Amino acid sequence: MLFTSLDFFLFLPLVLAVFALTPVAQRWAVLLLASYVFYGYLHPFNLVYLGAVTLVIFGCGWGLERATQKTMRVALLVLGLVAVLGSLTAFKFYDFIAGEIEHANLFANFKLPRLGITAPAGYSFYVFSAASYLIDIYVGRLSGKQNLGQVALFTAYFPKIFAGPIERATNFLPQLLSGLHADPVRFALGLQLIGWGLFKKVVIADNLAPLVDHSFKIVAFAPPLELLISTYFFAFQIYCDFSGYTDIALGISLLFGLELMENFRRPYLSRSTAEFWAERWHISLGRWFRDYLYIPLGGGRAGALRRAINIMIVFLVSGLWHAGLGYGVGWNFLVWGALNGAYQWAGLATRGLWRRIGEALPRVTASAWLRVLRIVITFHLILLSWVFFRAASMHDALLVLQKIGARITDLPHLLTIYPFSTEQLTGFGLIAFLLVYEIVDERRPVFQRLAEAPVALRWGTYYLGIFALLLLGRWQAKEFIYMQF
């Protein structure tokens, strides 16, 4: 079931009604049932995967709580992690690697069997949440004495199951124990978040999507300027698609009195790629990698070289995690990860220089124009990496860059003669609106401004938003990008 489907708009009020009529102590059970209905709605068999992951982590967590010997504890942790992360790796990469091995022709006429199946929707997300549950019990951040039903809800919770945030049990489970209450303020904020998330998804992302898809499908034939426009559009498509989903997930959760972790914070206003990845884009994944990969690898504690290696490992693994995101599995995702890792290296290498410049020229470094320049440069570095993310293959990615690069000096002239379509102009208008909104929101949250505004202005804004959804939204989309794992 999709957040943008009619089924969901009927499902949600029904769940809310049952939730409101259920005693507080049992409300989590309503959400668990709703989550299984939601997840199994189109593909009931996917519930088998979900159930298996839940049982594996609950069983291993239960064992970890009771095991006293270190070897037993390590064995249980490894067993659980191999089961959940190993299955994810197999789903994502086994067939691809088998194909690459055969393609390399290392062994004459060597044929490997194929799985022939892909991971169920959202698998990457709930597997990562599940892995964090086990690790948190192992390191003592979480007790292994949990209620199976509540652990099942943590894994299956329907607003986040397809595309996150990658929630932590340490944040989620205590909220269940204290009972779920929805109050008018959180309810109203939840509705606003749902509305804004839907706007980003069906109005912005889905109006940009056809233009992006068209160009990236025919890279060899698309004009360079069209490819450039589509690359810009993709940057905003993927942001609005993914953060739209997250906003809806956070909003729905507030209706039930649950607070999920923040996942996006106006990422295209980042002043460095480090800020982009650490504080603004897919925050829950960034923190997951930080806590469960980067720090266990030694983080920045073991010297500069080791730190650089650890950073690159994190970004390469992140690239692998993103592979298969509806655009296939290919080496381009690894390049995407490596490129972003290289950005971090460059940032670390020049950090001292920037600090010295800042000390020597404090007024220049504090100026607004330099801030804007840094934002623009950061955005374009990220934009460059998105080409590898979106292209269907390495060949396509390099062709896009080659075609754009070859005509980069002609751009001003090309822009004057290019026949912009109505759809493209609409796309630029929507992006401009989003940027203005985010700049305003960066200074003081728009929701907060609205809450303090006169009723006529507040309600007028709400109605404008709702009717923009009705009049301009593309409700026919069959998926969110990030749920295609």
Partner 1 sequence: MKQFGKSALLFVAIGLLLYASVFVATERLLMRNGHSNPFFKTATAEAPNYDWVILGASHAMTLDFGGFNALMERETGLQILNLASQGTGPLYNQFVLEHFLRTHRARNLLYVIDSFTFTSRAWNEDRFSDAKLIRGTPFEAATAQLMWNYVRHDGVSPRALLDYLSGFSKINNRDRFQRDAWEGEAQFDRVYRPSATAVSKRIAYLYPDATAPDVIARYLRDFASLIEIARQHNIRVIAVKLPTLTLFYNQLPNEAAFDLASTQVLTDHAVPLHDFSAALDDPRFYFDTDHLNRTGVTELFQRRLKPLLTMPSTE
Residues annotated as catalytic are: 322
Least distance to partner 1, CB of residue 232, Å: 22
Site for partner 1 in 181-210 (CB under 8 A): 184, 188
Instruction: Please identify, using beta-carbon distances, which residue of 62 and 475 lies nearer to partner 1.
Output: 475
Instruction: Please identify, using beta-carbon distances, which residue of 12 and 397 lies nearer to partner 1.
Output: 12
For residue 8, give the nearest of 240, 214, 251 by alpha carbon: 251
Least distance to partner 1, CB of residue 476, Å: 8
**290, 395, 407, 474: which one binds partner 1 (CB under 8 A):** 474
**180, 473, 480, 482: which one binds partner 1 (CB under 8 A):** 473
What are the structure tokens assigned to 92, written together? 């994502």
> What burial class does residue 414 get, using C-beta atoms within 10 Å of its C-beta: 0-12 exposed, 13-18 middle, 19+ buried?
middle
Q: How far apart are CA 343 and CA 347, in angstroms?
A: 6
For residue 282, give the nearest of 233, 254, 253, 246 by alpha carbon: 246
Burial 22-42 (b: 16+ CB within 10 A, else e): eeeeebbebbbebbbbbbbbe
Least distance to partner 1, CB of residue 407, Å: 31
Size of the site for partner 1 (CB under 8 A): 14
Q: What stretch of H or E contains 16? A: helix 6-21
Site map (CB under 8 A) of partner 1, residues 422-461, x = contact: -------------------------------------x--
Least distance to partner 1, CB of residue 7, Å: 9
CB neighbour list of residue 134: distance below 8 Å, 6 or more residues apart: 57, 60, 61, 64, 77, 80, 81, 84
**26, 466, 478, 485: which one binds partner 1 (CB under 8 A):** 466
475 lines the binding site for partner 1 (CB under 8 A)? yes
**462, 468, 477, 479: which one binds partner 1 (CB under 8 A):** 462
Q: What stretch of H or E contains 243? A: helix 224-255
Q: What is the DSSP string of 356-396?
A: HHHHH-HHHHTSHHHHHHHHHHHHHHHHHHHHHHHSSSHHH
Least distance to partner 1, CB of residue 470, Å: 5
What type of residue sits at position 106?
Answer: L
**Phi/psi at 178 (5° precision):** -85, 0
113 lines the binding site for partner 1 (CB under 8 A)? no
Site for partner 1 in 146-185 (CB under 8 A): 184
What type of residue sits at position 87?
Answer: S
6 lines the binding site for partner 1 (CB under 8 A)? yes
109 lines the binding site for partner 1 (CB under 8 A)? no
Instruction: Please identify, using beta-carbon distances, which residue of 182 and 260 lies nearer to partner 1.
Output: 182
Least distance to partner 1, CB of residue 122, Å: 25
- Binding residues vs partner 1 (CB under 8 A): 6, 184, 188, 459, 462-463, 466-467, 470-471, 473-476
